[in-house]
Structure 1
């Protein structure tokens, strides 16, 4: 039961970071392999505010998300929007260049060492039940991730903004013709995806660690979530993250000698039978 709980917590953290990539890749049709860099920025903002400025941890989280969103907006307006109509190869090469530039920048300013993160006392410790030890911070992580998943699903499928976003992606020319500001919609969407990455990166420092190599270490995990869950599907990202989180933790616990092989095997099997992902791409309505 403890392994299952830790797997769920790991999956929810994976969802929190990767759902922003699902938004930009699935709903904007942009292959942003630099998504892990935005998560890294959120993590560094969090540890800097916490350790050097003395800002309370719960206040660091929204500030990290906001700072990452601002970085995302700046890059979207100056660089990313120039490549919306480019080929996926161009987008991949561009975003990979940003990854290595961000890694070098973080190593220059913060060094190559792991960054420490001291959680507040009320998020430390465990709740011990018969056969189950639940970390308080992991419970907090699960609760936050569930709230975000519900809010995102509601926003994408049940609001005017979500409808405008799907219309802007499916047919931007027609969307402009009916009065939708496609450029603003894309900017807001990119800011949202960046903010979610930053929040996930800030909350993930305690579990994943933080150093300049973060984007390269975990980008494959984020891509697996999007591929298995279905590009653009919030529900798919959540389900895929939970499955992969539980499988990954259980595999490393029971058969540690195979490392991450289990999670890749699950991905291959799922994509063989469901190449479009568990839920596929959200269709316009």
Structure 2
């Protein structure tokens, strides 16, 4: 296999795994903004919280990486449930601007708390030996960690799509969003449905934040630093479209990875040029919702 082609394939796999990690983090915001119709700019902060809890469980408690990952996601979901039942009740009652300002303010609070507890330094979770190294296929070298992120993200995306489209809970969620009064009349507990949906979205963000520390390292300003990336994925994909967010994350992940390698002078600026071009051609996103 020619060196140029093997390099391209390696970059493509790295870009796809990076994109799938972005999808994991951003899909929860797609749900809350597009399905629940709540502007939640604190979403990426939940990814940071999940990452730091997983880091603490793995490095200080001494738990196995995968056990720490599961518990970190579960703890973040529990925290999000508490916030959803308390602070977010005011957010729901606000208009879009109020939701934006309140959730952004909460992000600053979480940033300050994390900085005081974990310190200002950049950190990442040490991977277990089973996720280190590379798989060699001829001239092609594939990172085991990147492959793990890719497979995990695909499985999560598939399960999420099946749950929202083909389960009773998914039907209840759509009914609760479209007509909450009628949903209550037929016995659907709308607040409980919203709470569970919100927790699932935050749990997915926590999963992405924890498994993606090798690509997006943890730091106190994580929730603000990577918020733009998350919003870009949602906007380019089409607000409320899970399929659109998947396409957007994959496309932007590949463009960013390829651009940084082939045009290093532009670096991270290429992704913004791509976003500009895509939104000029498709202002409603790659997959716009009807209605």
TM-score (norm: length of structure 1): 0.96
Of 113-122 and 23-32, more deviation after overlay is shown by 113-122
Residue 25 (structure 1) aligned with residue 33 (structure 2): yes
Q: CA shift at 1:276, angstroms?
A: 1.9
Which runs of no fewer than 5 residues in structure 2 stay unpaired?
1-8
Q: Output the CA distance in 1 between the equivalents of 2:145 and 2:252.
A: 20
How many residues are matched?
A: 283
Q: CA shift at 1:72, angstroms?
A: 0.6
Give the aligned partner of residue 167 of structure 1: 175
Give the aligned partner of residue 95 of structure 2: 87
Q: Output the CA distance in 1 between the equivalents of 2:137 and 2:184.
A: 57
Residue 134 (structure 1) aligned with residue 142 (structure 2): yes
Q: Output the CA distance in 1 between the equivalents of 2:139 and 2:290.
A: 40
Matches within 5 A, 1:202-241: 202-241=210-249
Q: CA shift at 1:157, angstroms?
A: 1.0
CA contact (8 A) 1:2 1:131 kept: no
Q: Output the CA distance in 2 between the equivalents of 1:122 and 1:109.
A: 30
Q: Output the CA distance in 2 between the equivalents of 1:17 and 1:65.
A: 12
Deviation string 1:114-143 (CA, Å, 9 cap, x unpaired) is: 224211111100112234221001111100
CA RMSD of aligned residues (A): 1.3
Of 115-124 and 48-57, more deviation after overlay is shown by 115-124
Give the aligned partner of residue 63 of structure 1: 71
Give the aligned partner of residue 272 of structure 2: 264
Residue 6 (structure 1) aligned with residue 10 (structure 2): no
CA contact (8 A) 1:123 1:137 kept: yes
Deviation string 1:187-225 (CA, Å, 9 cap, x unpaired) is: 000000011011111101122111101111111111111
Give the aligned partner of residue 249 of structure 1: 257
Residue 75 (structure 1) aligned with residue 83 (structure 2): yes
Closer/same/farther in 2, CA of residues 26 and 223 from structure 1, 3 Å limit: same
Q: Output the CA distance in 2 between the equivalents of 1:120 and 1:167.
A: 43
Give the aligned partner of residue 176 of structure 1: 184
Helix, strand or coil for the counterpart of 1:260? helix
Give the aligned partner of residue 193 of structure 2: 185
Give the aligned partner of residue 110 of structure 1: 118
Q: CA shift at 1:4, angstroms?
A: 0.8
TM-score (norm: length of structure 2): 0.94
Of 122-131 and 273-282, more deviation after overlay is shown by 273-282
Of 254-263 and 218-227, more deviation after overlay is shown by 254-263
Give 1:51's match in structure 2, choosing from 48, 55, 59.
59
CA contact (8 A) 1:26 1:281 kept: no
Helix, strand or coil for the counterpart of 2:174? helix
Of 68-77 and 230-239, more deviation after overlay is shown by 230-239
Give the aligned partner of residue 5 of structure 2: none
CA contact (8 A) 1:112 1:211 kept: yes
